[in-house]
Amino acid sequence: MTTGKSIEKPAAADLSERIRGRVLLPGDDDFAPELDGFNQISEHSPDLVAVVAGAEDVREAVSFAAARGLPVAVQATGHGPSTAADGGLLISTRGMRGVRVDPATRTARVEGGTQWFEVVEAAAEHGLAPLNGSSPLTGVIGYTLGGGLGLMARKYGYAADHVTALEIVTPDGQSHRATADQDTDLFWAVRGGKGNFGVVTALEFGLVPVERLYGGGLFFAGEAAAEVLHAWREWTATVPEDLTSSLALLRLPDVESIPPFLRGRLTVHVRIAYLGSAEDGDKLVGPLRAAGPLVVDTLADMPYTRCGEIHNDPTEPIPYSERSMMLRELDEAAVGALLELAGPGADCIDLAVELRQLGGAVGRPPKTPNAVDHRDAAFALSTLSLPDNRPPLVVDGMAAWGTGRRYLNFLASPDAADLTESGYEPATFARLAEIKGRVDPDNLFRFNHNIAPRPRQA
Ligand SMILES: Cc1cc2nc3c(=O)[nH]c(=O)nc-3n(C[C@H](O)[C@H](O)[C@H](O)COP(=O)(O)OP(=O)(O)OC[C@H]3O[C@@H](n4cnc5c(N)ncnc54)[C@H](O)[C@@H]3O)c2cc1C
């Protein structure tokens, strides 16, 4: 062990004695690898890392930080970077895993560092599925705390709407179990307020009775972007809530790791998850298949355990910046504007420009209110680009159709904290800031999509 920037070696050794996991300081062999995450756009540089093995470790680590006024960062997989840790303590939850499924109540309980593929596999043994997103590699907690817009979103709503209980270590080092009846402010705020209120050590949530679906992707040549986008827009107005889809304009680099048909060219990728029969699914997607020359068609009946194949998100770490804007509507003019900004011939640098259809259950308020807004949005627009200093042209260019609100799970960049307020309606943000003022008055949990604490209004 070497000495960290401002942490005395004996203090770090004392924390190390108190936890089952490990404490790492800059210079330790495992320090840098432990900081590595999926999105490498920003690098954490904490004074020390606590690699926690359970909730008791988290309590010790947070108390250690609180006693010294050290800011705290939390990392599971690194799929959702925002403000990178600059000094302070980074709590790495990636070793804190575990899933327990209760088929009788159709619920799952997961530990703080669990990834979605683990829940998908455990739930499938009981004919159930969770409300995971496009990549089974994202962390359950980070995804759900940001809302959680999944493959079956239109049928079942946000993942956060299905949380029944959460266990959290707040910045004072205390553990809380928050439910609809207990610690209700915390229960409301954490479901949507992301990592601002402490470290979630366990999450319990409902599962849905889904064993299979009809899903996959339709890939069209980029030259057909206008026909496909217009056809998809019209088609989304006709489909049932059992069907959730998205469309991405992909401009992927000409590199070995990308399938040849996608390399170095514009491709339109429509992703579909339909909960009805394959026969009905085939009929439903008929008009889309006819929208342009298909390059690849992977739509098929599949067990839910293969749900990662619907989007086929990248699995290897890359540095990228992600922006988002919720859209009120997608009319013909909006599609025209999007094609100008990102269609064939556009000066677009984004690797992916994605539209996800919302509506259905994501448009309805949950049974137990939470801090996830956007119930009025019809589509989620997001862009993914390699680090670049250019302004986010596509998102800004679509502002006329935007709700003015961003979906924070699709906002990953070093300036994410400056944009956090735009993730919420003003009343939601004010309540979150007031709860933050009570739970974390010194803003120890600030390396995230940060909500600055606000004193309670008289
Ligand atoms: C390829 C890819 C696909 C995605 N698909 C979807 C999708 O379909 N739908 C969707 O809604 N989102 C999606 N996302 C976004 C993703 O859900 C968020 O970025 C999420 O925050 C990732 O969480 P993580 O723990 O994996 O990442 P990390 O970078 O490790 O964590 C991100 C943040 O989550 C918070 N956090 C994580 N664990 C805890 C904890 N135990 N306690 C408190 N706070 C915690 C912290 O604030 C942390 O800074 C996707 C992201 C990627 C890269």
79 close to ligand 1 (CB < 6 Angstrom): yes
Domain with CATH 3.40.462.20 in the chain: 212-420
Note the pLDDT of residue 94. Answer: 96
Residue 40 burial by CB count (10 A; 0-12/13-18/19+): exposed, middle or buried?
middle
Mean pLDDT of the chain: 95
Matching CATH number, 99-209, of 3.40.50.300, 3.40.630.40, 3.40.190.10, 3.30.465.10: 3.30.465.10
Question: Averaged over 285-300, what is the pLDDT?
Answer: 97
Mutation test residue for ligand 1: of 321, 409, 445, the one with most atoms within 8 Å of CB: 409
168 CA closest ligand 1 atom index: 42
Would you say residue 388 has pLDDT above 80? no
CATH class of 9-92: alpha beta
- Backbone φ and ψ of 221, nearest 5°: -65, 145
CB 273 within 8 A of CB 302: no
Note the pLDDT of residue 389. Answer: 72
Which of the four pLDDT bands, split at 50, 70 and 90, describes residue 42? confident
Would you say residue 299 has pLDDT above 60? yes
Residues of the chain above pLDDT 70, percent: 98
Domain with CATH 3.30.43.10 in the chain: 9-92
Locate 78 and state its tokens: 């690194």
Would you say residue 3 has pLDDT above 90? no
**Residue for token digits 């600059």?**
86
Dist. CA 318–CA 339, nearest whole Å: 26
CB 380 within 8 A of CB 358: yes
What are the pLDDT digits (tens) for 119-174?
Answer: 999 999 999 999 999 999 999 999 999 999 999 999 999 999 999 999 999 999 99
CB 126 within 8 A of CB 103: yes
Would you say residue 222 has pLDDT above 80? yes
134 CA closest ligand 1 atom index: 8
Query: Separation of 323 CA from ligand 1 center, angstroms?
Result: 14
Dist. CA 133–CA 135, nearest whole Å: 6
Domain with CATH 3.30.465.10 in the chain: 99-209
Specify the pairing of strand 48-51 against strand 89-92: parallel
What are the pLDDT digits (tens) for 242-263?
Answer: 999 999 999 999 999 899 999 9
Indicate the residue type of 296: V
* H runs (alpha helix) in 125-221: 140-145, 153-156, 184-193
420 close to ligand 1 (CB < 6 Angstrom): no
Query: Separation of 79 CA from ligand 1 center, angstroms?
Result: 5
**CA-based torsion, 292, 342, 270, 395: positive or negative:** negative
Would you say residue 346 has pLDDT above 50? yes
What are the pLDDT digits (tens) for 69-117?
Answer: 999 999 999 999 899 999 999 999 999 999 999 999 999 999 999 999 9
Dist. CA 323–CA 341, nearest whole Å: 15
Note the pLDDT of residue 6. Answer: 67
Note the pLDDT of residue 457. Answer: 63
Which of the four pLDDT bands, split at 50, 70 and 90, describes residue 4? very low
Which of the four pLDDT bands, split at 50, 70 and 90, describes residue 429? very high
Least confident of 74-83, 299-308, 325-334, 389-398: 389-398
Which of 14, 75, 11 has the alpha carbon at shortest distance from 42?
Answer: 75
93 close to ligand 1 (CB < 6 Angstrom): yes
138 CA closest ligand 1 atom index: 26
> 212-420 adopts what CATH topology?
Vanillyl-alcohol Oxidase; Chain A, domain 3 (3.40.462)
Largest CA distance in the chain: 68
Which of the four pLDDT bands, split at 50, 70 and 90, describes residue 416? confident
